[in-house]
Chains A and B, each alone.
Chain A
Amino acid sequence: MIWSNAITSSPAKGDRFLFHVLRSFAGIAGILVVGILTFLVSESLPAFQQIGITAFVTDPSWHPTEGTYNLLPMFIGTMYATIGAVTLATPLGILTALFCQYYAPQAIASGYRAFIELLAGIPSVVYGLWGLVVLVPLIADLRPPGPSLFAGILILTIMIFPTVTLVSLSALQQVPKEYIQGATALGCTRWSMIRQIILPNTWPGILTGVTLQTGRAIGETMAILMVCGNVVQYPSSLFDPIRTLTANIALEMAYATDTHRASLFLTGLFLLTIVIVVIMSTQQARSNQAYG
């Protein structure tokens, strides 16, 4: 911000030294993403060369030890789980945020909020544990086998719901007080005020939160791995077990070699690309909104 001129004219040796040290630290931090990308690309190169990119969608199945590498079922699994969780968590999160902001009495609202903040901090492996021990047996009673896409969607929903709520809540809190006063003065009911005035003004903030959580859901590994059953297949119903891309990496990385290993890195590269695209599109949407 400042000092940038003075750097060139400063005679103090120590200053220049410190500047160079700090700049190289910033360089390391900046180059890290490039480094990660480079490693993913170079490690997955054998997969490109020896298997070819089309094989990942055209091969008959995922049996890397036998040379078949179809990732499509797992991609579909990831997508189903993510879409399911985001579709469930978004309305729930928004409703809960509305509850805290406009419906609950002060004391309940702040207690509820603190509770949600607590939940947002719980590690995913703990949600996975609970899902595995409590939720999966319940689902098994309903429709065996238990570990399933459904369990995955529920656990992911439970995981991302607190953050969706918190983001929506902070978007709600940024609505100018005058809007609310104006609406109240006109004698609107609470719901029509929310429908007509609050939600139209907050959806960009909420949308940003939802997209970020979509990224998180795509990348989530542990909880999904623990409750989804990890069978590589196209699910024919909600209650079929599935395997996601992330779970696949976690399960097979330990023993994978050669092209198998390379194809896991390729999966990682693919995941990273999706998440970056999702994040970038949010930022793009936000800056369009700011200027447009």
Chain B
Amino acid sequence: MRTPRKTPTPYIASAYSTRNIALCCDPDPLIQTRDLSLSYGNHQAIKNISLTIHRGCLTAIVGPSGSGKTSFLQCLNRLTDLLPDCTVSGRATIENLDILSPTIDVLQLRRRIGMIFQKPNPFPMSIQKNLEFPLKEHGVTATHLIQERIQRALMDVGLWNEVKDRMDTSALRLSGGQQQRLCIARALVLSPDVLLMDEPCSALDPLSSGTVEDLIFSLRGQYTIIIVTHNLAQAHRIADYVGVFWSQAQAGELIEFAPTHAIFEHPQQDLTAAYINGIRG
């Protein structure tokens, strides 16, 4: 379909600010939501979200705090199941699979749709175990296969050379940026189709944040990525599409969804324009 961009130079996130390609992935719907709404008890957090995520594209979700970005992501991998008083309505599909159906294999769905959180959250185990344990649980038991996949995932996130000699030390001893990349590797090792990222860089220092951003960008094309970010410059640098969430009367709504250049250059909504300029100014 398209070739991923050349591997970015590490640590120089600003290298992309001059990017001039308008849209680098072909429209090919993978995830679709129709009138997706979510409530916590009586409090409606998101309302009637309808959007289409294209295969291989990097879609950024931006919007003020509390506008329901995290809640939206959690609908897509059914993490909402974990909250007892949370109800979801509407439709969400990935290919032809109904995500919200009570009968689907949720564990398999979550294997297909990986998630990265704001705070790096490696398990309190060795680096090796962190990657091996989810694999084994998903039925990969042959040692050489496990090793091969772990190595590839670590190489993909650029962590292999840093940790290959200390695979048996605790993952909690890694730096914040390394931990976040390990978490990405932990998702990648399960060969997902989609990666949901909830502000993956915002808990990291600027340098690690740059590294992780470069990594995310390098994954574009191979994976369909939905990234929530408060950093509009970051969205501008790396995203193909941008969706803007806004809370209207308490409930978060999608006020605009368009290719990145369209959002940043010709926002259709006053709110979008104000939001973008507000951040810039």
Interface residue? A3 (CB, 8 A): yes
Closest 6 CB pairs of A and B: A6-B81, A2-B82, A4-B84, A5-B81, A9-B102, A5-B84
The answer to whether the Cβ of A273 comes within 8 Å of any Cβ in the partner chain is: no
**Hey, which chain B residues are within 8 Å of A4, CB to CB?**
84
Query: Does B148 make an interface contact (CB < 8 A)?
Result: no
A5 with B106: CB separation less than 8 A: no
Q: Which residues of A contact B84 (CB under 8 A)?
A: 2, 4-5
**A11–B82 touching, CB < 8 Å:** no
Interface residues on chain A, size class: under 10
Q: Once bound together, how far apart are the Cα atoms of A5 and B84, in whole Å? A: 6
A11 in complex: contacting residue of B81, B83, B86, B106, CB < 8 Å: B106
From the candidates A5, A9, A10, name the one contacting B83 in the complex (CB within 8 A): A5
Chain B CB within 8 A of A122 CB: no
Q: For residue A11, which residues in chain B have a CB less than 8 angstroms away from its CB?
A: 103, 105-107
Chain B: CB-nearest residue to A11:
B105
A185 at the interface (CB under 8 A from B): no
Beta-carbon contacts under 8 Å, B54-107 to A: 81-84, 86, 102-103, 105-107
Interface set of B (CB-CB < 8 Å, partner A): 81-84, 86, 102-103, 105-107
Q: Does A107 contact B (CB under 8 A)?
A: no
How many interface contacts (CB-CB < 8 Å) are there between A and B? Answer: 22
Residue A12, interface by CB 8 Å: yes
Give Cα distance in the complex from A5 to B102, angstroms.
11
Contacting pair B82 A3 (CB below 8 A): yes
What is the interface of chain A, defined by CB distance below 8 A to chain B? 2-6, 9-12
Could you list 22 examples of A-B contacts with CB < 8 Å?
A: A2-B82, A2-B83, A2-B84, A3-B82, A4-B84, A5-B81, A5-B82, A5-B83, A5-B84, A5-B86, A6-B81, A6-B82, A6-B106, A9-B81, A9-B102, A9-B106, A10-B106, A11-B103, A11-B105, A11-B106, A11-B107, A12-B107
Bound-complex Cα distance A10 to B107 (A): 8
Q: A5-B84, A6-B82, A9-B81 are in contact. List 18 more A-B contacts (CB 8 A).
A: A2-B82, A2-B83, A2-B84, A3-B82, A4-B84, A5-B81, A5-B82, A5-B83, A5-B86, A6-B106, A9-B102, A9-B106, A10-B106, A11-B103, A11-B105, A11-B106, A11-B107, A12-B107
With a CB–CB cut-off of 8 A, which chain B residues contact A9? 81, 102, 106
> Cα distance A6–B82 when bound, in Å?
6
Q: How far is the CB of B133 from chain A (nearest CB, A)?
A: 16
CA distance A2 to B27 in the complex (A): 38
Chain A residue, CB-CB nearest to B86: A5
Give the CA-CA distance A30 to B104 in the complex, in Å: 35
From B80, which residue of chain A is reached at the shortest CB distance? Answer: A5
User: B6 → chain A, closest Cβ, in Å?
Assistant: 42
Chain A residues with CB under 8 Å of B102's CB are 9
Chain A contacts for B81, CB-based, 8 A: 5-6, 9
Residues from chain A with a CB closer than 8 A to the CB of B107 are 11-12
Nearest CB in chain B to that of A15: its residue:
B107
Tell me which residues across on chain B come within 8 A of A12, comparing CB atoms: 107
Within the complex, the shortest CB–CB distance from A62 to chain B, in Å, comes to: 56
> How far apart sit A11 and B109, CA to CA, in the bound complex (Å)?
12
**CA gap between A4 and B86 in the complex, in Å:** 11
Nearest A residue to B107 via CB reads: A12
Residue numbers in B under 8 Å from A5 (CB-CB): 81-84, 86
- How far in angstroms is the closest Cβ of chain B from A169? 34
CA distance A11 to B82 in the complex (A): 15
Cα(A239)–Cα(B22), bound, Å: 99
Q: How far is the CA of A5 from the CA of B81 in the complex (A)?
A: 6
Residue on A with the closest CB to B104?
A11
Residues of A within 8 A of B86 (CB): 5
Cα(A277)–Cα(B102), bound, Å = 47
User: In the assembled complex, how far is the CB of residue A10 from the closest CB belonging to chain B, in whole angstroms?
Assistant: 7
* Distance to closest chain B CB from A84 (angstroms): 51
A207 CA to B106 CA in the complex, in Å? 51
Residues of B within 8 A of A6 (CB): 81-82, 106
Closest chain-A Cβ to B134's Cβ sits at a distance in Å of: 15
- Min CB distance A25 to B, Å, is 22
Nearest-CB residue, chain A, relative to B82: A2
**Closest CB of chain B to A262's CB: distance in Å?**
47
Min distance, Cβ A17 to any Cβ of chain B, angstroms: 16
Q: Which residues of B contact A10 (CB under 8 A)?
A: 106
Q: Measured between alpha carbons, how far is A9 from B83 in the docked complex, in Å? A: 13
- Bound together, the chains give a CA A116 to CA B264 distance in angstroms of 70
The interface centre, meaning the residue of A3, A4, A6, A10 with most chain B CB atoms within 10 A of its CB, is A6
- Of all chain A residues, which has the CB nearest B108? A11
Please, which residues of chain A bring their CB within 8 A of the CB of B82? 2-3, 5-6
Nearest chain A residue, comparing its CB with the CB of B101: A9
What residue of chain A has the Cβ atom nearest to residue B102's Cβ?
A9
Cα–Cα distance between A11 and B104 once the two chains are bound (Å): 8
Residue in chain B with minimal CB distance to A1: B84
> In the complex, what distance in Å separates the CA atom of A239 from the CA atom of B83?
64
